[in-house]
Amino acid sequence: MASRLPGAVTTQPENDRAPNRDGTVRDGGERENESPPEQELAARVRGLSRAFGERRVLDGLDLDVAPGEFIALIGRSGSGKSTLLRALAGLDRSVTGELTVNGTVAVAFQEPRLVPWKRVLANVCLGLRVADARAAAGAALAEVGLTERADAWPLTLSGGEAQRASLARALVREPRLLLLDEPFSALDALTTITMHRLVVRLWAHHEPAVLLVTHDVDEALTLADRVLVLAGGRIGFSCRIEAPRPRDRNQPELTALRTRLLAELGVDTEGTK
Ligand SMILES: Nc1ncnc2c1ncn2[C@@H]1O[C@H](COP(=O)(O)OP(=O)(O)OP(=O)(O)O)[C@@H](O)[C@H]1O
Ligand SMILES: [Mg+2]
């Protein structure tokens, strides 16, 4: 099912610059002339804008999400990452521009947002319209290693368990586009590594396109096929990562990219800012 949001803005994609020799694209990640037809993409965004009062948070943003692609989206706090995700999830009807999502979308947020008065299995089933919702939810919980906590109340779960329940709830919908808004940022380092492995395993198995918002450049480098930097209301920088997974974040190409991404975020790695 394709959902389309016709908007008032008809900005032409202007992000058609050739990539640099290192495969990065400055000031615009999308190159219209290379794009496949809209219906073949998991999502296409053209000229997307969103203002809150006088403030334009998204300002003519273009983005193509290929089927099965794993994208990490980084950007300074307040740059509009969650605003973009909400638009893609169909949760914000006040955006303008063109936004097409082909197929089911599911979202997992920073806080797991489980309903406290429903047990874990019931949370995963919530709103699910399939023949045997409980069996589907049980299978999703098994995939995230949470079978034993199916009858638990959400408030008795650890942070990592709650996030896994949230992932199961997203996955059981078999999304073509999975939106993850900083899902690991509240977890400790060890749990985060476990969650990274889980997400990569689930992604490889179910093959949704993933758009992961993160503050963590290393997380982006570890997980993504493509890293986008949101700045000035648009995709200001885009780079592809070809390195096979699992990745060693200290390998030279990733180290160089980390420095570059931090610079794009305005972080001085010499420590003078
Ligand atoms: N409903 C709203 N009303 C007014 N302003 C809003 C609203 N939602 C977001 N904003 C503003 O839009 C800007 C972008 O917000 P958004 O949540 O998308 O940022 P973000 O990039 O996700 O930041 P963070 O990394 O801190 O999560 C912020 O300045 C925020 O205050
Ligand atoms: Mg946010």
190 with 116: CB under 8 angstroms?
no
Per the model's pLDDT, the better-predicted residue between 1 and 91 turns out to be: 91
Locate the ligand 1 atom nearest the alpha carbon of residue 53 and give its number.
4
Residue 181's pLDDT is what?
A: 96
Residue 256 structure tokens = 């160089």
CA angle 58–64–66, rounded 5-degree value: 145
Q: Is 154 in the pocket of ligand 1 (CB under 6 A)?
A: no
Q: What are the sequence ranges of the domains in the chain? A: 1-104+176-268, 115-174
Q: Is 208 in the pocket of ligand 1 (CB under 6 A)?
A: no
Q: Is 169 in the pocket of ligand 1 (CB under 6 A)?
A: no
Residue 18's pLDDT is what?
A: 44
Longest dimension (CA), the chain: 59
pLDDT in tens, 120-161: 999 999 989 889 999 999 999 999 999 999 999 999 999 999
Supply the mean pLDDT for the chain. Answer: 87
SS3 of residue 59 by DSSP: strand
Q: Is 79 in the pocket of ligand 1 (CB under 6 A)?
A: yes
Is domain 1-104+176-268 given the CATH code 3.30.70.2190 in the classification?
A: no
Residue 272's pLDDT is what?
A: 52
Residue 36's pLDDT is what?
A: 78
- How close is the Cα of 112 to the center of ligand 2, in Å? 14
- How close is the Cα of 236 to the center of ligand 1, in Å? 18
- How close is the Cα of 131 to the center of ligand 2, in Å? 35
- Ramachandran assignment for 121, one of left (phi > 0), alpha (psi -120 to 50 degrees), beta (any other): alpha
Residue 4's pLDDT is what?
A: 47
* Residue 11 pLDDT grade (very low, low, confident, very high; cuts 50, 70, 90): very low
Residue 25's pLDDT is what?
A: 53
CA distance 217 to 7: 33
Locate the ligand 1 atom nearest the alpha carbon of residue 230 and give its number.
21
pLDDT in tens, 26-39: 544 444 456 778 77
pLDDT in tens, 189-225: 999 999 999 999 999 999 999 999 999 999 999 999 9
Residue 23's pLDDT is what?
A: 45
Residue 80's pLDDT is what?
A: 97
Q: Is 91 in the pocket of ligand 1 (CB under 6 A)?
A: no
193 with 41: CB under 8 angstroms?
no
Residue 121's pLDDT is what?
A: 98
Residue 270's pLDDT is what?
A: 67
Q: Is 192 in the pocket of ligand 1 (CB under 6 A)?
A: no
Residue 232's pLDDT is what?
A: 96
Of the listed ligands, the closest to the CA of 61 is: 1
For ligand 1, atom 4, the nearest C-alpha belongs to 52
pLDDT in tens, 85-98: 999 999 999 999 99
193 with 160: CB under 8 angstroms?
no
